Amino acid sequence: MNIALFGGTFDPIHRGHVVVARAAAAKFKLKQVWFVPADLPPHKLKTPVTSFYHRYAMVALALAGEKDFVPSLLEAPDPDADSRKRKPSYSIETVRRVKASLGKSDHLYFLIGMDAFKDIAKWYKAGELLAQCDFIVAARPGYSLVDVASSLPEKLRPAPAVTKLFRKEKLAGPLVLPGETLHMLPETHENVSASQIRAALDRGAALKRLVPDSVAEYIQKEQLYRSPKARKGGIASQSGGS
């Protein structure tokens, strides 16, 4: 069985995430895609992040009706642990735990957007993580295979002469390197970002085209992502038209 872990902050999950997962599932014959919200994303330790439970709730709402997509608590905070001693959510530790639970015939992938992959060399034990499972890198506008190759940890990067050959190549792949394979997922043309969602809320605009309706309703109900200005003046219904 082919399984992919789709990790991220999901603050909030949006239509782009779901579209990418659908495309990856179709292209790589994934039986399941596990959406794994990070409790403490290592790259956002100094950035305010919405409560894990709000983010997990939105993931669960967004995936309702997607029978092959699983909202995962793999990186949920320990309710009995001292909140001041919580550790960052490292992908290498999550991948190792999942692999230990899988059968011999199961194949694990790690699904990631190019905007996140470009910083992979800075991740905790990046080389070990890349060796643990095949990566599926979702294309983003403006990136090519040279960006993928150049983003790898230094010890894993192809020689400069080889990298130059990728200069004009789109993200098609796979990129096969010693001990690892990077699969490329073409652009899905569903470009949504958390900053767009916040900007829409500040304008009082509906979120219908950015997030699933159930997520838009949850954001409105819980009054998430609202600037002080929006809180004072109120915002339009998020489940209606634009």
| Shared-domain flag, residues 180 and 198 | no
Range(s) of the domain holding residue 173: 2-185
φ/ψ (deg, to 5) at 7: -95, 160
3-state secondary structure of 34: strand
Domain identity same for 198 and 179: no
**pLDDT per position as a tens digit, 10-25:** 999 999 999 999 999 9
Considering the entire predicted model, what is its pTM?
0.87
Are 120 and 222 within one domain? no
Average pLDDT for 147-159:
87
Regarding whether 199 and 181 lie in a shared domain, the answer is no
Q: Are residues 137 and 216 in the same domain?
A: no
| Burial class of residue 144 in the structure, from the number of CB atoms within 10 Å of its CB (0-12 exposed, 13-18 middle, 19+ buried) | middle
Contact (Cβ atoms closer than 8 angstroms) between residue 30 and residue 24:
yes
- Is the pLDDT higher at 131 or at 188? 131
Q: List, for residues 154-181, the tens digit of each pLDDT value.
A: 998 887 766 666 655 555 667 777 777 8
Which of 185, 205, 221 marks a domain boundary? 185
Is residue 53 domain-shared with residue 158, that is, in the same domain?
Answer: yes
**Number of domains comprising the chain:** 2
**3-state SS class at 119:** coil
Asked if 15 and 190 touch (Cβ cutoff 8 Å), the reply is yes
Say whether pLDDT at 130 is over 90: yes
pLDDT digits (tens, 9 = 90+) for 76-120: 998 777 666 778 899 999 999 999 999 999 999 999 999 999 999
- Does the residue 18 lie in any domain? yes
Shared domain for 144 and 218, answered yes or no, is no
Average model confidence (pLDDT) across the chain: 86
| 79 and 131, same domain (yes or no) | yes
pLDDT at 216 over 60: yes
Confidence at residue 197, expressed as pLDDT on a 0 to 100 scale: 92
**Do the domain assignments include residue 79?**
yes
Residue (of 83, 173, 198, 183) closest to 130 by Cα position? 183
Whichever domain contains 143, its CATH number is 3.40.50.620
Burial of 199 (0-12, 13-18, 19+ CB in 10 A): middle
Q: Answer whether residue 49 is part of any domain.
A: yes
